[in-house]
Amino acid sequence: MDKNNFTNFKKVEEILNEDGRILVRESGTQPLIRILIEHRSESILSKAKEIINNII
């Protein structure tokens, strides 16, 4: 994944608003990027996951 794509995660932050969160970080033990997203609404969470899948 291109590191410039991290700026696209702002879209997800806007969708999640104050009722959710996103955490993107490098794994400390594997060559992976770990992504955590949480929200109260399943439909908003699904939309956020869709955007993230398109980014990566």
In order along its 56 residues, the chain shows pLDDT tens digits of 566 666 778 888 888 988 999 998 999 999 998 999 999 999 999 999 998 898 87
Q: What is the pLDDT of residue 56?
A: 78
Distances (CA, A) of 38 to 1, 14, 48: 22, 13, 9
Distance CA 53, CA 50 (A): 5
Give alpha helix (H) positions in the chain: 9-16, 42-55
Sign of dihedral through CA atoms 12, 53, 55, 3? positive
For domain 3-55, the question of CATH label 1.10.287.990 is answered with no
**Residue spans per domain, the chain:** 3-55
